């Protein structure tokens, strides 16, 4: 997976299982691809919630010798793995967030991005509220705790009606778990059940496979699902069907794991369909089809099947190089590419090579991969991409760079080809992409390609918007003291 685009976050929750914390731990492992910045688990014994979060991967935060899982052991738990789409990489932004307000304790875990978070924070800070983090998730706690909201018949439903953007949420109260999904259903959230009857909620169904649970259904857009001692209960905070869904199709293209079922269809099958579609749209005479692993593998298999060109592994990915490895110079960044993706010279030397990747964002990492193929002796290199050119930023939970940094912004295909130093480049068309999906075309968000945002962006939205005051204070101190 390319470091040019970052994951969302991963959620996992389970109610009514003696091994709830251990199973949450396993569930987070299976969702690790969605975020590696921090991890955390909150659990409850029915009266009190306890929580532990830390920076890094699940394995680093919950080391085997730490005893943390035993200390957290309780029959209900929620967990979170994070990649930041609002707020920087620091401990204060780790989730779940555990707070206490007039109604007691609550822990919250969030996947998505609230586009009105800065407006809400401005309002609450004006009334004296103090925020501990720079994450948009903390806004939800302040909304929930507001007296006029807390006294409502359904405080969660009322709180969610104030949010705009993409969100899947898990709330852990001392006696129950509440799971919710935004009215547009932008991010996935699914319900499962273990053999013993315990209910599970997760961002992807691959987490159910890990703990031996079976998939039941998705949490519907605008739905709140409550898990408690009486079982599973559903209610809606927005009228079903009132808005057209805007599922993020990038979940299928890149984010989700191949064995997950997302938005009603298997990810691997979808990506193979994309590969076949690209082969039809952009045929070429070549000797071998190779993927950029791992998210490009399924599409490359589809391309090879449709074109009749042999499939092989021209790149070998190292799973031991951390994604947060940042290099200060271009020379070191080039070495990083070689560390993460080693070229198999015997597969590409003297051959016409089709390289299949899921997407290209800035293009600098892709150009490094192409350079390594040239050095390995590839005769020709034909780049094929299983989605259209990305020309617009995402405000709903994908950490794309600014519009100016995007490779396809203000470049035509010839200029993109020259930048990447390939013999040809071909992107899947938007129509071709949507033809691989099982749902109607208008049920997906395509804003990163078209610039047409289904939820209007009426305010400034960027990853570090919540840190504006801290930066202003720091800049003022520099002016006065340096």
Q: Which residues are catalytic?
A: 9
Q: Are 227 and 177 in contact (CB under 8 A)?
A: yes
Contacts of 33 (CB under 8 A, 6+ apart): 1, 7, 10, 255, 257
Q: 3-state class of 176 per DSSP?
A: strand
Give Cα separations from 170 to 80, 157, 190, 338, 479 (angstroms): 9, 13, 12, 39, 43
In our burial notation (b when 16+ CB lie closer than 10 A, e otherwise), range 404-417 reads eebbbeebeeeebb
Contacts of 52 (CB under 8 A, 6+ apart): 40, 41, 42, 61, 62, 68, 71, 72
In our burial notation (b when 16+ CB lie closer than 10 A, e otherwise), range 437-475 reads beeeeebbbbbbbeeebbbeeeeebebebbbeeeeeeee
Tally the residues of the chain. Answer: 482
Closest among 127, 72, 82 to 108, alpha carbons compared: 82
Total Cβ atoms within 10 A of residue 106: 23
Report residue 453 CA to chain centroid gap.
18
d(CA 420, CA 367): 5
Positive or negative, the CA dihedral 190, 397, 9, 2 is positive
Q: Are 386 and 271 in contact (CB under 8 A)?
A: yes
């Amino acid at each position: 997976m390319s470091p040019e685009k970052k994951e969302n976050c991963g959620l996992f929750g389970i109610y009514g299982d003696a091994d709830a914390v251990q199973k949450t731990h396993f569930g987070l492992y299976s969702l690790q691809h969605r975020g590696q910045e921090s991890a955390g688990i909150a659990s409850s014994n029915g009266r009190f919630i306890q929580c532990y979060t830390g920076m890094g991967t699940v394995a680093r935060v919950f080391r085997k010798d730490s005893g943390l899982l035993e200390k957290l052991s309780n029959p209900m738990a929620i967990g979170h793995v994070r990649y930041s789409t609002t707020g920087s990489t620091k401990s204060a932004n780790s989730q779940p967030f555990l707070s206490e307000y007039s109604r007691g304790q609550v822990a919250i875990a969030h996947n998505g991005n609230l586009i009105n978070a800065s407006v809400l924070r401005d309002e609450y800070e004006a009334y004296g509220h103090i925020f501990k983090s720079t994450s948009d998730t903390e806004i939800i706690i302040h909304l929930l705790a507001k007296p006029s909201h807390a006294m409502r018949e359904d405080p969660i439903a009322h709180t969610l009606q104030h949010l705009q953007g993409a969100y899947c949420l898990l709330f852990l109260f001392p006696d129950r778990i509440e799971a919710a999904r935004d009215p547009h259903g932008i991010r996935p959230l699914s319900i499962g059940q273990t053999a013993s009857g315990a209910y599970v909620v997760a961002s992807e169904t691959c987490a159910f496979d890990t703990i031996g649970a079976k998939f039941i259904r998705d949490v519907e857009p605008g739905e709140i699902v409550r898990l408690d001692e009486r079982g599973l209960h559903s209610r809606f905070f927005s009228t079903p069907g009132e808005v057209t869904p805007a599922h993020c199709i990038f979940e299928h293209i890149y984010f989700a794991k191949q064995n997950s079922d997302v938005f009603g269809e298997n990810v691997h099958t979808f990506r193979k369909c994309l590969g076949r579609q690209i082969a039809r749209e952009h045929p070429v005479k070549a000797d071998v089809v190779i993927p950029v692993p791992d998210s490009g593998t399924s599409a490359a298999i589809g391309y090879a099947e449709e074109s009749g060109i042999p499939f092989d592994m021209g790149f070998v990915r190292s799973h031991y190089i951390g994604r947060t490895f940042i290099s200060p110079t271009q020379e070191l960044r080039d070495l990083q590419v070689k560390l993460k993706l080693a070229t198999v010279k015997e597969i590409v030397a003297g051959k016409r090579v089709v390289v299949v990747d899921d997407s290209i964002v800035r293009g600098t990492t892709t150009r490094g991969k192409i350079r390594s193929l040239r050095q390995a002796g590839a005769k020709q290199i034909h780049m094929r991409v299983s989605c259209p050119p990305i020309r617009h930023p995402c405000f709903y939970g994908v950490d794309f760079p600014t519009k100016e940094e995007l490779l396809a912004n203000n470049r035509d295909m010839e200029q993109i080809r020259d930048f990447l130093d390939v013999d040809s480049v071909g992107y899947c068309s938007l129509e071709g992409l949507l033809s691989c999906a099982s749902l109607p075309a208008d049920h997906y968000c395509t804003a990163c390609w078209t610039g047409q945002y289904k939820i209007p962006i009426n305010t400034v939205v960027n990853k570090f918007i919540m840190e504006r005051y801290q930066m202003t204070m720091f800049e003022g101190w520099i002016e006065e003291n340096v």
